[in-house]
Amino acid sequence: MASAERGQTKYQINLRRYLRESGVDRDLTRIICEIANASKYIINAIRTGDLGVAGTSNLYGEQQLELDVLSDRIIQKRLMYSGVIAKMASEEVDEVVEVTVRNNGRYSIAFDPLDGSSLVDVNLAVGTIVSIYEGDNLLRPGRNQVAALYVLYGPRTTMVVSTGKGVHEFAMNQLMEFDMVQENIQLEGPAKIYAPGGLRSKYTPGTLKFVRSLEANGTKLRYSGGFVPDINQVLIKGGGIFMYPHLTDNPHGKLRLLYELNPMAFLVEQAGGTASNGKQRILDMTPESLDQCAPVFIGTKESVAFAERCLLEEEGT
Ligand code: AFP
């Protein structure tokens, strides 16, 4: 496969072609391409949706949907009749959606249709996060994922995706197709940037020690409040760490294991990085519920290992 340096592809390699030529299963390719298609409608919803809240009606009398609910509907409608899905779990829906009754789908997905949706009101970047498993059991450790991706709706719309053969970045072109811009993204060395989620006043001693060490080493703070753009910056800049740690008043952190942490951990590990809850690999955690949260330190191996050491030294965990 022709390699593609960032921005200088020898010829435009689009998403569907890349997946096909990489030998990715046809049904899995179908899911990834359906998400790519859904992203076009989500972009439109973000750009044209009134900033009103759900329950109000727009000037045509149509009921106003919150963007995350609308994004959820867009994705579900595209996948419901794709013939390749067994179950869907959406962060916007309390129950798992059984699709098998309509077809014998081979894959199940867990997704956050529009993570960080509250940031749209202040015109900051948001994203769609998708985790894909073979079969119909979504409550398995994240190491069982067969693919993961996110779509980042920023100044450019990009998709970062892995099917277990490295992690690659695609950008939406004028025809609203995704062309490859970077193949086999790699994370190396100590963190150049860090993204500290949660209130500093609620950090435990080990996290405080870790963050103070990063600052003493000149690591730059980069935090937007959106998980997708903040992880994307760690990946595309080639080195960094994102954390949303356990807090003194919340031992489980804020981010959801199924919809946010497992897919991002899969992508970051494919780039040579790692993701931990402070003492255990995120991808080894067995989810006990759909909305289970976990603390997270995710980025370069070196930085995550140092965070774990700080927690062990200061908190014995
Ligand atoms: P929403 O999806 O509710 O806007 O939350 C976004 C998010 O879950 C994730 O995208 C961010 O990393 C995290 O919240 C930011 O949380 P804080 O606002 O507490 O920093």
Q: What is the mean pLDDT of each run of 10 residues along the chain (317 residues)?
A: 47 90 97 98 88 54 75 95 94 88 81 95 96 96 98 98 98 96 91 96 98 97 98 94 98 97 98 97 97 97 97 89
- pLDDT, position 174: 95
- pLDDT, position 154: 97
Q: Tell me if 66 CB under 6 Å of ligand 1.
A: no
Query: pTM, whole model, 2 decimals?
Result: 0.93
Q: Which CATH architecture describes the domain 193-315? A: 3-Layer(aba) Sandwich (3.40)
Q: Tell me if 242 CB under 6 Å of ligand 1.
A: no
Residue nearest to atom 3 of ligand 1 (CA): 116
Contact 111, 130 (CB under 8 A): yes
- pLDDT, position 1: 46
- pLDDT, position 124: 96
Residue (of 184, 150, 145, 151) closest to 165 by Cα position: 184
Please state the φ and ψ torsions of residue 292, each to the nearest 5 degrees.
Answer: -60, 135
Tokens of 58: 């727009």
Q: Which CATH architecture describes the domain 15-182? A: 2-Layer Sandwich (3.30)
Per DSSP bridges, beta strands 147-153 and 157-162 are: antiparallel
Alpha-carbon distance 31 to 130, whole Å? Answer: 10
How far does residue 32's CA lie from ligand 1's centre (Å)?
A: 25
How far does residue 198's CA lie from ligand 1's centre (Å)?
A: 9
Contacts 24+ apart (CB under 8 A), 247-250: 247/198, 247/199, 247/202, 247/203, 247/204, 248/202, 248/203, 248/204, 249/202, 250/202
- pLDDT, position 81: 87
Q: Tell me if 225 CB under 6 Å of ligand 1.
A: yes
Per-domain residue ranges for the chain?
Answer: 15-182, 193-315
- pLDDT, position 253: 96
Please state the φ and ψ torsions of residue 273, each to the nearest 5 degrees.
Answer: -100, -160
Mutate to test the pocket of ligand 1, among 254, 257, 261, 292 (most ligand atoms within 8 A of CB): 254
